[in-house]
Chains A and B, each alone.
Chain A
Amino acid sequence: MARTRYGTDRGLTVRMFGTLFGLGLMYVILAAALYALGVNAIFVLGFSAALLFGQWWYSDTLSMKAMRAVEVTPEQAPQLHAVVDRLCAMADMPKPRVGIADTDAPNAFATGRSPDRSVVVVTTGLLRRLNRDELEGVLAHELSHVAHRDVTVMTVASFTAILAGFMVRSAMWGSMMRGRRDQNTAVIFLAVMVVSVVVYLISYLLINALSRYRELGADRGAALLTGQPTALASALTKITGDMASIPTKDIRQMEAVSAFSFAPAVAGKREFTLEQWFSTHPPLEKRLAQLAKIAGEIGGR
């Protein structure tokens, strides 16, 4: 009886699943390498897990501090709150807290360990540049991140990369301190180092690939919720166009949260496919193409 005009995007689901599987495989390889190493493994594991857990648990507070954002009440920002209210009512999700960061770079991000403890932040530059429908699209995109629990998913995914980073250090340290004593130990440590560098690189690429798929997923969720894919496409075009022209100082400030923000604050050429592999957000053309496809799905009968 009830149906929706939006078909499922099976391709995106399959790619996302593949990426998650790849990350899991990396973890297995890493565990094997750790076993070969034998020492300090539990300590490294525990320490990095604790660090990452803290980062995830306090993600809302940390990101708000990093962006110098302040939470606003419905009285302080009635329009912004009203848009979020309506989107949450349509999506049937708990309303996150709302924050504003006083910076001219147009951007938005959502963070928090669970939908009940999330915060959606927009910059004053974003509020200045976007019209009502575009702002609604951007907020719907961020609310999709909240609904999809992207902070949790990305934190879990980051675990392997961080773990590998610790291994590289401990292997380097170990080979320097104890390598000369025994020829065999040095070889083992060298092997472990090479393995963890490779593991780190691959997991890094996979995390970024996952992040790009999550972005496409959030774009899709936003277009599906508002029924206005074109407004979101227009917001994206405005923001990424402006992004390219902001000064370097601002860009460096933004990098701390770029993984969960609306558009990456890194200006650069889009010529190399290699660069796309290292990017947390899909290229603009790809996002616009997806939105155009959804617009076609809604418009046609």
Chain B
Amino acid sequence: MGFLDAVLGRRKPARPDLDSLFAVPTAAITLQAAMDLVPTGRASVAFRSPEGRAFADVEAEVRALLDADGGPPVQVSQDGFGFDWVVIETDPADVGAAVIDAHAVNTSLVEGGFGPQLLCSTVSFRGPDGEPMALVYLYKAGTFYPFVPVASKDQERNNVQELQIRDLLDGELPMEKNVSRWFAVWDAPGL
């Protein structure tokens, strides 16, 4: 935020940066080779659904867009914080296709004027023992961070592995440097 915006109390909504998403399939190959993390072909888009009729129209548009080209099935669900998650499922697992669809969902939302309400996108992976991992993309910062919940324990993260993934992907994806922004997405749909 600029000086004048602060002085006058204006907030320019942070603009989302979507193109970094396309670098994920390459990063997925690195993850598989180095850490045996396999993409599940699932991706999700999270946003705060704004009130009002206009948004219902956009939501219908998003559905129509994804259904039209015989694309993968999507599921829309709401989490405990009032955020909507559009989950994209590809079968057989195709991380490239999932990312392209996630990008399409994001683009329709931004073009509908709901860019400020976008929260994050996730691309999900599984470890050798089936433990979940997600790459979370923060639109407004344009950065990624890893999220590794410990499956056996409630609300606990495997920080060691998260830091390893960050170091591994550092050259390939813009990773979020400020770890205090790595907010948890417990039980996020599509994880």
Chain A residues in the interface with B (C-beta under 8 A): 1-6, 8, 12-13, 16-17, 20, 78, 82-83, 85-86, 88-92, 94-95, 132-133, 136, 144, 147-150, 153, 213-214, 217-218, 220-221, 224-231, 295, 298-301
Known contacts A95-B180, A213-B9: A89-B114 contact under CB 8 Å: no
- The total of chain B residues at the interface (CB under 8 A) is 44
Q: Are A298 and B50 in contact (CB under 8 A)?
A: yes
Residue of A nearest to B110 (CB): A2
Q: Are B8 and A90 in contact (CB under 8 A)?
A: no
Q: Are B54 and A298 in contact (CB under 8 A)?
A: yes
Specify which chain B residues have a CB less than 8 angstroms from the CB of A224 in the assembled complex: 11, 13, 116
Option from A86, A95, A218, A230 in Cβ contact (under 8 Å) with B51: A230
Residue of A nearest to B180 (CB): A95
Q: Could you tell me the distance between the alpha carbons of A52 and B62 in the complex, rounded to whole angstroms? A: 53
User: What are 12 residue pairs bridging A and B, where the CB atoms are less than 8 Å apart in the complex?
Assistant: A2-B110, A3-B115, A13-B8, A82-B184, A86-B81, A89-B138, A94-B180, A227-B50, A228-B50, A229-B51, A295-B51, A301-B54
Q: Are A217 and B52 in contact (CB under 8 A)?
A: no
Residue of A nearest to B12 (CB): A4
Binary A-proximity of B1-38 (CB < 8 A = 1, otherwise 0): 10001111111011110000000000000000000000
Q: Are B14 and A92 in contact (CB under 8 A)?
A: yes
Q: Could you tell me the distance between the alpha carbons of A229 and B51 in the complex, rounded to whole angstroms? A: 8
Chain B residues in the interface with A (C-beta under 8 A): 1, 5-11, 13-16, 48-55, 57, 80-83, 110-111, 113-120, 138, 140-141, 155, 178, 180-181, 183-184
Q: Are B115 and A227 in contact (CB under 8 A)?
A: no
Specify which chain B residues have a CB less than 8 angstroms from the CB of A230 in the assembled complex: 51
Q: Are B9 and A228 in contact (CB under 8 A)?
A: no
Which 7 pairs, one residue from A and one from B, show the smallest C-beta to C-beta distance? A227-B50, A299-B52, A217-B9, A92-B140, A85-B183, A5-B113, A92-B14
Q: Are B48 and A228 in contact (CB under 8 A)?
A: yes
Q: Could you tell me the distance between the alpha carbons of A289 and B135 in the complex, rounded to whole angstroms? A: 41
Q: Are B14 and A91 in contact (CB under 8 A)?
A: yes
Q: Assuming A221-B9, A299-B53, what are 5 further A-B pairs, CB within 8 angstroms?
A: A90-B117, A90-B140, A94-B180, A227-B51, A299-B54
Option from A16, A90, A153, A299 in Cβ contact (under 8 Å) with B48: A90
Specify which chain A residues have a CB less than 8 angstroms from the CB of B184 in the assembled complex: 82, 85
Residue of A nearest to B186 (CB): A82
Q: Could you tell me the distance between the alpha carbons of A146 and B88 in the complex, rounded to whole angstroms? A: 36
Q: Could you tell me the distance between the alpha carbons of A224 and B111 in the complex, rounded to whole angstroms? A: 16
Specify which chain A residues have a CB less than 8 angstroms from the CB of B50 in the assembled complex: 226-228, 298
Q: Could you tell me the distance between the alpha carbons of A217 and B15 in the complex, rounded to whole angstroms? A: 20
Known contacts A90-B118, A224-B11: A301-B6 contact under CB 8 Å: no
Q: Are A89 and B116 in contact (CB under 8 A)?
A: no
Specify which chain B residues have a CB less than 8 angstroms from the CB of A229 in the assembled complex: 51
Q: Are B9 and A148 in contact (CB under 8 A)?
A: yes
Nearest-neighbour CB distance to chain A for B5, whole angstroms, equals 8
Residue of B nearest to A214 (CB): B9
Nearest-neighbour CB distance to chain B for A135, whole angstroms, equals 10
Option from A82, A83, A147, A298 in Cβ contact (under 8 Å) with B52: A298
Specify which chain A residues have a CB less than 8 angstroms from the CB of B120 in the assembled complex: 89
Residue of B nearest to A156 (CB): B7
Nearest-neighbour CB distance to chain A for B147, whole angstroms, equals 12
Q: Are B116 and A90 in contact (CB under 8 A)?
A: yes
Q: Are A94 and B54 in contact (CB under 8 A)?
A: no
